[in-house]
Amino acid sequence: MPLVAGVDSSTQSCKVVIRDADSGRVVRAGRARHPDGTEVDPAHWWMALREALEDAGGLGDVDAISIGGQQHGMVVLDGGGRVIRDALLWNDTRSATAAEDLTQEFGADALAARTGLVPVASFTSTKLRWLRYAEPDNAARVAAVALPHDWLTWRLRGFGPEGDSPLGPDLEELATDRSDASGTGYFSPSSGEYDREILIAALGHDAVLPRIVGPSEAIGTGAAGVPDSIPGIVIGPGCGDNAGAALGLGAAGGDVALSIGTSGTVFAVSNEPVIDPSGTVAGFADASGLFLPLVATLNAARVLDAFTRILGVDHDELGRLALSAPVGSSPVLVPFFEGERTPNLPDATATLVGLTLGNFTPTTLARAACEGMLCGVGAGLVALTDLGVAVERVLLIGGAAQSEAVQSIAAQVVDASIEVPIPGEYVALGAAVQAGWALTGKRPAWPVEMSARPAPDFRAEIRERYDSAVAAFYG
């Protein structure tokens, strides 16, 4: 049977899944750790990829592979294909001032129209601007700019510094896809072209950028002499992490993923590009040729963690307590424990609104935690619908999504059909979809198993109470 491999080179680790190309069944998997920190030598990613492939049983019987990876990371190469300095990751915030500078120079409206984005510290363009002024000697040496998955794919194909790779430092062989390019801040999802003026304004000069390839295109094949690769293996285009997850979930137009992890992420598959000059919604491209508008929030599953500590219960008991309290019986939690990004309130704090002696109980506090957390993450869903994004189905994912209480209360907060996929490495699973697509020329239609479909139970008053509480404190 033909096999395909998908990789998720994420912030914390590298995960590999190997799937049956006919059925999509996961045959085996592997993983390896990445070092901590907000800047990392990309060599660690290469070593982790090789370790994860070995842990997954190797590529000896695999026909195609594709790599998904953390978006935005800045990998800068000199003319000899050498990494100039450690890569700055998406969560490195030292470029916040650079983001403000680029916004002032071009204007938020113009940047949103040209790139789908208003700069924030996570985007590659802002990191290049930081490099230009903080490390001008390093910036002057930059001959090419890649993203994490671009660089890994390039290495897997056999390219790299002279003496460390069989095919040498051919920078023109760097390649990427629309989804990852759309997180740089110098790419237009609408036109599919790089915006060189913005790149030059950020870095100070032009540079080689990875070639943009189509969703079903094979970038190339493995070369002899590449450790742990297989000569002739088909290598797919790769993608950004959220776009990979969308592929892995089988998301299509009208689908929205609502992810409740350490932070909250809401992204939709849209047939049309989305432009938001406020910067709340990032107008990314997806990995299928469509668009992936995305909203991020800071406060998600850790809100529930905080209430388990205060109440002295585990997550299962927190859920049981929450479900025993009727709708409308609890105070309202504004869950901005770590400030917030959506809405943009970096200095905000969390607040319990409407406390009385009658509702200051474990059950009502547990209910407030679930409602407040879901309304906070759900602000991303509201932002998408306000921009005209169609929402027909919500896919509830992330660590907290398997909670019965979170599922039931989500059905009361969200006015749409909700499905809960089984837990899985959806970025890697989506990269495997890409690999299968590149191998056969046809997008695989593998089934995605659901663990729950909570009954619709929309209660508009939950959102109304939450919005009133936020407005009372923050206008």
Instruction: Supply the DSSP string of 329-348, one letter for each residue.
Output: -S-EEE--BTBBTTTTBTT-
Q: Say whether 441 sits in a helix, a strand or coil.
A: coil
Cβ neighbours around 346 below 10 Å, total: 11
Placement of tokens 């906070």 in the chain: 376
Do 289 and 427 touch, CB atoms closer than 8 A? no
What gap in Å lies between CA 109 and CA 107, rounded to an integer? 6
Strands 211-213 and 193-194: unpaired
Q: Catalytic site residue 386?
A: no
What gap in Å lies between CA 65 and CA 153, rounded to an integer? 10
Task: Report the candidate in 62, 76, 198 with the shortest Cα–Cα distance to residue 145.
Answer: 76
For residue 15, give every residue at least 6 positions away whose Cβ sits within 8 Å of its Cβ, in sequence order, or none: 7, 8, 29, 30, 31, 52, 425, 427, 428
What gap in Å lies between CA 385 and CA 157, rounded to an integer? 41
Do 218 and 49 touch, CB atoms closer than 8 A? no
Q: What are phi and psi of 267, to 5 degrees?
A: -140, 145
Instruction: Supply the DSSP string of 124-182, one letter for each residue.
Output: HHHHHHHHHHH-HHHHHH--EEE-HHHHHHHHHTT-SSTTSSSS---GGG-EEEHHHHT
189 alpha carbon, distance to own chain's centre:
16
Helix orientation angle between 196-203 and 108-115, rounded to the nearest 10 degrees = 120
Residue of 8, 177, 195, 241 marked active site:
241
Placement of tokens 């991303």 in the chain: 380
What gap in Å lies between CA 54 and CA 241, rounded to an integer? 22
Catalytic residues, which ones? 241
